[in-house]
Structure 1
Amino acid sequence: MQILRKLAVLVTAIGLATPVLASSPPSQGALRFDVIRKGKDIGELSYSFSGSAAKYSVQVVTDIAVKIPLIRVNAYAFKQNSVERWANGKMTSIRSATDDDGDAHQISEKGRGLLPASLWNDDILKRRQLLNTIDGSVMSVRVIDLGVQNVPTRSGQLRAHHYRISGDLERDVWYDQNGDLAHVSFKADDGSTVTYLRK
């Protein structure tokens, strides 16, 4: 089903003028988001970090279900579980299993000098190619800086730096003053806006 297919390409003012690049895990060890469409919570995205600043792993779990009103049957479902391994600021490997509305994908890749399009690491803003975490393909992207803005979170407004990624991946992303992912927005195939709201 093509509805919301873009859900699957899961994938800097004072103190913010130059963001801290996220070459190490967030200090809190995790980032969690609600996935919102048309004002409704349709799923969750979580990043769990373990290890040291020099060598660590990141588990990324996405679970999304868009239901048909009244009958509550899934119109679209997307599940992904991936593990990225990092050493000295570089991704050394990634393993990912994805169920994209019934279409199964699995990848097991070495780093290949690429960064994954999982969005948590703002080093992606300096790259022109990213690794698709669903099928392992290489995506060409461009990035523009849109300045500092307030974005909503579950705990209130947060100052964050806004960037727009375009090309093979289209996302608006915001990173906080620590370089941690703060907010995500993009258009689904049906024209609706999907946002990741940080918990």
Structure 2
Amino acid sequence: MRILASSVLALMLLLPVTGKAAIAVPDGFPPDGTITYDVWREGSQIGTHTVEFARDGDKLTVHTRIRIQVKLLFITVYRFEHDAEEDWVDGKLMRFAAKTNDNGTDRDVLLERQGDELRGHYNSEQATLPGDLIPGSLWNPATIDQKQLIEPTKGRAKDVTIVDHGMETVTLGSGAKVQGHHYSITGDLRREVWYGPDGEVVQAAYNAKDGSLLTFRLEK
């Protein structure tokens, strides 16, 4: 049993979106604090995903933590651990760092702004990306306007196309129902994401390599 950890992520700027139906993002979004998602696969909860936002003046720091564990007959057959940090200043990505344990394979990403570029490394490979790219962590409502996203576990640019499906009803982890604006991210990075009325991700989903559906449900 395998899950494509390269596409596990996941998962979540500050700027209003254009060119598509706008998400109503209030001033000061995202607010300080932590949001938590339960990760589900084939009817079973297999992990958690937390995103913490912290402001210091015009600087926003975003911490992402994902822990996934798949068991078969009480034996762990797959483990995925991902920790990432994004530093933003005035709506511009200044630094992205991530460490991932992909079922025993370590992945280390560091990208830092140098002029109009993001430079750093993925493991021992040097990396240089355009400075206007944003990570595919989904929390940023500006995701729906992108043509490329940074794949968070390897720090590589991925070509994407965004498809707008309109409003749909989403059931949260608590059982409450909310309206979410559903978008498909297709291309080199594939995700389904639903943004709530305030710009917060209320649900995300994608198919793992083994074909199973992983769903990230907001707890509240």
Q: Same fold (TM over 0.5)?
A: yes
Q: Residue 14 of structure 1 aligns with which residue?
A: none
Measured against aligned partners, the alpha-carbon deviations of 1:66-120 in whole angstroms (never above 9, x if no partner) come to 111x2x1122111011110011112110111000111101111024221001111
Shift of 1:55: 1.4
1:149 aligns with 2:168: yes
Shift of 1:18: 2.7
| Structure 2 letter corresponding to 1:178 | D
What is the distance in 2 between the residues matched to 1:37 and 1:6?
14
> Contact 2:32/2:52 (CA < 8 Å) preserved in 1?
no
Q: Residue 123 of structure 1 aligns with which residue?
A: 142
Q: Residue 100 of structure 1 aligns with which residue?
A: 102
1:37 aligns with 2:41: yes
CA separation of 1:39 and 1:23: change in aligned 2, threshold 3 A: farther
Q: Residue 5 of structure 1 aligns with which residue?
A: 4
Q: Residue 199 of structure 2 aligns with which residue?
A: 179
Normalised by the length of structure 2, the TM-score is: 0.81
* Secondary structure in 2 matching 1:64: strand
Say how many residue pairs are matched. 191
Shift of 1:22: 8.0
Q: Residue 213 of structure 2 aligns with which residue?
A: 193
Shift of 1:28: 5.6
Q: Residue 69 of structure 2 aligns with which residue?
A: 65
What is the distance in 1 between the residues matched to 2:58 and 2:170?
30
> Contact 2:40/2:47 (CA < 8 Å) preserved in 1?
yes
Structure 1 runs (4+) deviating above 3 angstroms are: 6-9, 21-25
Shift of 1:54: 3.0
1:137 aligns with 2:141: no
| Structure 1 letter corresponding to 2:137 | S
Q: CA RMSD in A?
A: 1.9
What is the distance in 2 between the residues matched to 1:129 and 1:90?
16
Measured against aligned partners, the alpha-carbon deviations of 1:25-66 in whole angstroms (never above 9, x if no partner) come to 423622210000011110000000111473110000000011
Identity across matched positions, percent: 30
Gaps of 5+ in 1: 12-16
| Structure 1 letter corresponding to 2:177 | Q
* Secondary structure in 1 matching 2:206: strand
CA separation of 1:9 and 1:152: change in aligned 2, threshold 3 A: same
What is the distance in 1 between the residues matched to 2:180 and 2:137?
18
CA separation of 1:23 and 1:46: change in aligned 2, threshold 3 A: farther
> Contact 1:153/1:198 (CA < 8 Å) preserved in 2?
yes
1:167 aligns with 2:187: yes
